[in-house]
Amino acid sequence: MSYLALARRYRPGDFENILSQQHVTVTLRNAVKSGRISHAYLFAGPRGTGKTTTARVLAKALNCAKGPTPDPCGVCTSCKEITVGSSPDVFEIDAASNRGIDDIRELRENVRYSPIGGRYKIYIIDEVHRLTKEAFDALLKTLEEPPAHVIFIFATTDPQALPATILSRTQRYDFKRIPVTALSEAINSIATKEGINIEPGAALLVAKKADGSLRDALSLLDQLSSFSDGPIGAEQTAEILGLVKTEFLAQIASAVIKRDPRAALDLFGQFTKSGGDPQEFADALSGYFRILMLVKNGINDIELLELDGADMETAKEIISDVDIVDLLRYFTILADYRVAVRSGQDPVYSLEATLLKMAAMDHAVSIQSLLSKLPDTPVSKVSPAPAKSAARHSTRTEMMPDPGPIYYAEQNLQPPRTAPTSEPVLFDGPLTFENLSANWDRFCSQVKKSKMSTWAYLNLCRPAGFANDTLALTIDSANKIQLQELLRPDIRRFLEDSLKDYFKCNIRLSITPGDNIPKSNSGNFLKIDPDKVFENAPDAKELFDSLGGEMIGP
């Protein structure tokens, strides 16, 4: 009999032996046990994680002579036929080569017929995402309302490529990558059964290379078993499979972190002389710096880090004197290398330049450490200042050094004195027009402190009369906008409230244009001829008219 590959020889035949997919197998076992069988299943996940194998085991569980049972016997005619792929009731279809609408039409015709020997007619369609749009459309009706004896099991590595109409008609089960530790244990177990002597370090390298796929791991083990009759070590495994050893990556990372570019380039030179792939090396080094970042942040999970005990201690030693920011920068620089290679640069030369850049990079320094190295600057003690000055200059004054005593050019000059700040003097006396006029300037000063814009208009007004608690004001300005501003309800209310606060009496306002309006060509007003303003600017005249402009002037 011809040699049977390990991946086929050790293919699980029941739910119990399917590796690291308990979340799927337990659910399916319970569904079979309780009789809650769906008409369509979708198994999605990476390659080599057991999707098609689980589909076959489910077919056995449903068509077993002792079933439906969650534990198929494996010895009845139905189980044996499904195992070797010759069952007349279980059809395995490769959607990559049978993806057209004609293939689906043939399937729709066949599903009408009852199974020959089993309870169900089961269609296992592998890589179902490869079907054409027309094929999916033809499958929809049958998938939604299949005959009672038909069950569909779809397997795919790209569930996002399936139409939503297909996804909504299936029970979806997501298969996960098999952890490195579980793969390593499975490799050691199968190697022992086969009489293959493989060291734990070599099994770990095989598990990493397999990237979560049991089928790939067993294929690599097959390859290694043909290399030597003696023990298979890590050195041989790395050489045969083209891997970069963790110890070698640790030496490169240590040289980079210690800013030793010569050592880093020497190590990389040894790798290239042995025929190593520079892009494989860059990927492996990126993965190692990722491990260093996780360890630096306190991660000690062996399964997540994919390290053994000795490699973990080495990683902790390497990161003892490096900042997490530097590790992030190394990781980013290696990502830039991939971009450079994709743009057409030589992989070896670019990687040498990348290692030089990483080894020559200055270490990150925190702002706190920089500030701690600055010389102390004396800060003067500033005497209390008036409230208004302190509010405006407090920050700048506190940071200025004491200039010392100030000397004046002439001996008889005295330092300027600031006028003492006093509380505003409020009106006190009978409320008459004469008293209102005499205190008008002081009142305007009070308004100026509260609202400068209103004071600018009020300063153009003068009292003209006072009767029946109404103060008549005249505004000596030809500018209509100023009068309109003072007549605004909110401005009028503000002025009347201010009058009440100052004169201690309710006073209403009446504001009218005055007689002392500046004539033409006096002050800031110019005599304007409206017909000649836009004589040489027709576009401006059009804009003026469209906006409803008004000519303001004497």
Q: Per-residue pLDDT tens for 124-179?
A: 999 999 998 888 988 888 888 888 899 999 999 999 999 999 999 999 999 999 98
Asked whether the predicted pLDDT for residue 409 surpasses 50, the reply is no
Asked whether the predicted pLDDT for residue 376 surpasses 90, the reply is no
Asked whether the predicted pLDDT for residue 425 surpasses 80, the reply is no
Give the single-character DSSP code of 240: H
> d(Cα 324, Cα 487) in Å, to the nearest integer?
67
Helices 261-273 and 246-257: angle between axes, nearest 10 degrees: 150
The per-residue pLDDT for 61 is 94
The per-residue pLDDT for 529 is 58
Q: What residues does 471 pair with on adjacent strands?
A: 466, 509
Number of other CB atoms surrounding residue 174 within 10 Å: 13
The per-residue pLDDT for 461 is 84
Asked whether the predicted pLDDT for residue 512 surpasses 70, the reply is yes
Residues 6 or more apart whose Cβ sits within 8 Å of residue 80: 74
pLDDT band at 368 (very low <50, low <70, confident <90, very high): low
The per-residue pLDDT for 56 is 94
How many residues in the chain?
A: 554
Average pLDDT score over the chain: 80
pLDDT band at 427 (very low <50, low <70, confident <90, very high): low
The per-residue pLDDT for 388 is 43
The per-residue pLDDT for 369 is 61
Residues 6 or more apart whose Cβ sits within 8 Å of residue 139: 104, 107, 108, 131, 166
Asked whether the predicted pLDDT for residue 210 surpasses 60, the reply is yes
The per-residue pLDDT for 366 is 60
> d(Cα 323, Cα 321) in Å, to the nearest integer?
7
Greater model confidence, 163 or 517: 163
Asked whether the predicted pLDDT for residue 117 surpasses 60, the reply is yes
pLDDT band at 3 (very low <50, low <70, confident <90, very high): confident
The per-residue pLDDT for 539 is 66
Greater model confidence, 553 or 436: 436
Residue type, 349: Y
pLDDT band at 367 (very low <50, low <70, confident <90, very high): low
The per-residue pLDDT for 482 is 74
Greater model confidence, 463 or 380: 463
The continuous run of DSSP H or E covering 173 comes out as strand 171-174
Whether residue 126 contacts residue 161, with contact meaning beta carbons closer than 8 Å, is answered with no
The per-residue pLDDT for 520 is 41
The continuous run of DSSP H or E covering 528 comes out as none
pLDDT band at 393 (very low <50, low <70, confident <90, very high): very low
The per-residue pLDDT for 62 is 94
- Taking residues 478-482, what's their average pLDDT? 69
**Which residue from 454, 506, 510, 451 is spatially nearest to 482, judged by alpha carbons?**
454
Asked whether the predicted pLDDT for residue 554 surpasses 50, the reply is no
Which domains does the chain carry? 6-174 (3.40.50.300), 246-365 (1.20.272.10), 433-513 (3.30.300.180)
Asked whether the predicted pLDDT for residue 203 surpasses 60, the reply is yes
Asked whether the predicted pLDDT for residue 517 surpasses 60, the reply is no
> d(Cα 458, Cα 297) in Å, to the nearest integer?
68
The per-residue pLDDT for 379 is 42
Asked whether the predicted pLDDT for residue 307 surpasses 80, the reply is no
- Taking residues 374-386, what's their average pLDDT? 47
pLDDT band at 523 (very low <50, low <70, confident <90, very high): very low
Greater model confidence, 546 or 252: 252
Asked whether the predicted pLDDT for residue 219 surpasses 70, the reply is yes
The per-residue pLDDT for 25 is 94
pLDDT band at 411 (very low <50, low <70, confident <90, very high): very low
The per-residue pLDDT for 125 is 93
- The model's pLDDT over 335-356, given as tens digits with 9 standing for 90+, comes to 888 888 888 888 899 999 999 9
- Taking residues 414-437, what's their average pLDDT? 58
Residues 6 or more apart whose Cβ sits within 8 Å of residue 370: none
Asked whether the predicted pLDDT for residue 98 surpasses 60, the reply is yes
The per-residue pLDDT for 374 is 61
- Taking residues 88-112, what's their average pLDDT? 87
